[in-house]
Every structure is written in C-alpha cells, then in structure tokens.
Amino acid sequence: MDSLNSSEPPVFADIKDAARQLSGWARRTPLLENTILNDELGFRLIVKPECLQRTGSFKFRGAFNKISRIPEDMRSKGVVAFSSGNHAQGVAAAATLMGMKSTIIMPKDAPRAKIENTKALGGDVVLFDRQTESREEIGERLQKEQGAILVKPYDEPLIIAGQGTIGLEISEQVGEIDAKPDAVIVPAGGGGLVSGTALAISETLACPVYSAEPDSFDDHKRSLEAGSRQPVPNGASSICDALLAPIPGELTFSLNSRLLTGGLSVSDDEALMAMKRAMLSLKIVVEPGGAVALAAALTQKIDLKGKTVVVVCSGGNADPEMLARALAM
C-alpha cells in the first residue's frame, strides 16, 4: 500500500507488510484455552485475547500501522481521531511513541476508565454528546483548524491491514498447537477488525469467519443478509460501548460482504455471562463489546459440537462497576 491516504481496500500483502511494521511494537497475543471448559462445552474453544494487547485492545495495531508511517515532516501538527475509547487509546499511545500530539474526540458517556487512560497515554480529549453532536463533523473541523492528520477508527486501509495481523497470528498459532479451526468468530463495530482478520484467514486457513455483535446493534448481521449496508435503528442501546458504530463502514463492508460466512448477535446479558466465563475460566478481563464473540460461541449461535472454534476477545477496558455486574450474573 503506497499511499498514506489510499481509499482502496487492503489486500493480503498489506497485512503482511503491517505485521513487519508492527514487529517489536505490538504484542503477539497468545491463544488461550481451558480443557475443563472444553469438556463442559463439548467443543474446543480457543481464545485470542486482544485484551492483553498494548492499551488493552486490538486498536493499537491499526493505529500504529497508520501513525508510524506518517512522514517526519508531517508530524508536527499531530493527529486527530474520534472514538468511544479503544481507538482513542490506541491512537494516543501510537502518537506518543512517534513523538506526536493527538487530539481525541470521545463521547461524554464513554467509560471513565477509557477517558482517563486516553489522557494518561498523552491524548488531548474533547468530549461530545453522541445524541446531539456528530463526532465526524467535530473531527473534520479540528482537522482543518489544526492541520492534523485524521486517523479513522475502521474505514481506512492501513487501519484494516493493521487489525488483520490478528488473523495472520491466528493462522500461525493454531499450527503451533495442532488445531484446525472449523470457524473463527470476531467482534464487529465498524468492521475493521473482522474484515482485516477475515482477509488474513481467507488466505491462510480458509475456514468460515463470522462477525459477532450486540442484538440491538446487529447492523453487520442484517447487512450481510440484505446484501447492502443497513443502519442501526434509532434509539438502539447496548452496554457494548466499543461496538456502537451506526452502520458498517464502506470499505469494511466491501470486504465483509464477500469474506464473511455470516453474522451473529448476542444479548447484553450473554455478553456479561461471557465476561464472567473469561475471568473465571481463562483468567482474563474482557469488556462487554470485547466479549460478544466469546458469548456467541458459548451460547452456540452456530453449531459447534465436536468442532474447534477460535474467538477474538477484542478488548478489556471495562470499568470496575461493569466487571462487578458481570461477576454477579
């Protein structure tokens, strides 16, 4: 991928290039499983815990892949981004590592831990009301005022390619543990993670890949079924704050419409139940949005009996109150 601002969907070579760019910066997160849990479920469950990634989510991968490629003579004006929290932290961390300023537009109702962590990582936070204000409009205005480079949360080739390194790692790691996945399930908000992962999987493992979402924000599921991008209904709400994009991205859906086998959705209670399982059986902290793929597997939204499934737990930036709520399930 030659251009910092390319509008063409990435290809598999871009993911391999992103892996080289991220080497030494992003963590190669492990694969986790619990034999007792597997016996109880009746299938082999393998978890890719991106909650253990730098900044607590997969978002660091795409953000660093983009920001680290900004030429030095363009870095003085910094970057601007909009995010409910995980992309915010990834951008702030990547910009700080590159010696750049970052301005992050975040919703006022984002988890306090995500807002405070973004500030701690070096980001200047601008809060907005997601009911009455447009984060895209604020981002474009700040971009023009500051001359900063906009780092989109998902609908950008370098971002998608960076997230796709997760699929590349999965394909390498399942071979190391002699596993042959029958399916891979990945959380979906705007679609950058699932599209990048599916692109890598399609070139390596060639097994079915499914998106996972909250029931009330199942725009990928409905879009795949309709064959066109479908928005979230007005008034939809979910505790899965990381997955509240209003509609699948244009670039991401162009990939997902041909790469995904289908879309799955789970209730908020099922996401909380998965958070609890992750803590008790796998010893990891996962936030609600990061747990939807695990929830889809645990509740067998597709038939998994006797099969092997890999699920991505995409983030672990949950407030203590949400963790307590999950443990009380």
Taking the CA of residue 182 as centre, how many other CA atoms within 13 Å lie in the half-sphere pointing to its CB? 12
Closest by Cα among 309, 302, 215, 220 to 257: 220
Q: Provide the pLDDT for residue 141.
A: 87
Distance of CA 186 to the CA centre of its chain: 8
12-57+156-327 and 60-150 share one CATH topology? yes
Determine the topology of domain 12-57+156-327 in CATH.
Answer: Rossmann fold (3.40.50)
Residues of the chain with pLDDT under 70: 1-3, 5
Q: Provide the pLDDT for residue 1.
A: 45
- Order of all β-strands in the sheet with 262-266: 44-49, 308-313, 183-187, 209-214, 262-266
CATH 3.40.50.1100 given to domain 60-150? yes
Closest by Cα among 206, 212, 236 to 48: 212
- The mean of the pLDDT values for the chain is 95
User: Are the C-beta atoms of residues 105 and 139 closer than 8 Å to each other?
Assistant: yes
Q: Is residue 297 packed enough to be buried (19+ CB in 10 Å), middle (13-18) or exposed (0-12)?
A: buried
Radius of gyration of the CA atoms of the chain, in A:
18
Q: Provide the pLDDT for residue 133.
A: 87
**The residue type at 326:** A
- Domain ranges (residues) in the chain: 12-57+156-327, 60-150
User: Are the C-beta atoms of residues 299 and 41 closer than 8 Å to each other?
Assistant: no
Quickly tell me which residue has 């991505």 as its tokens. 312
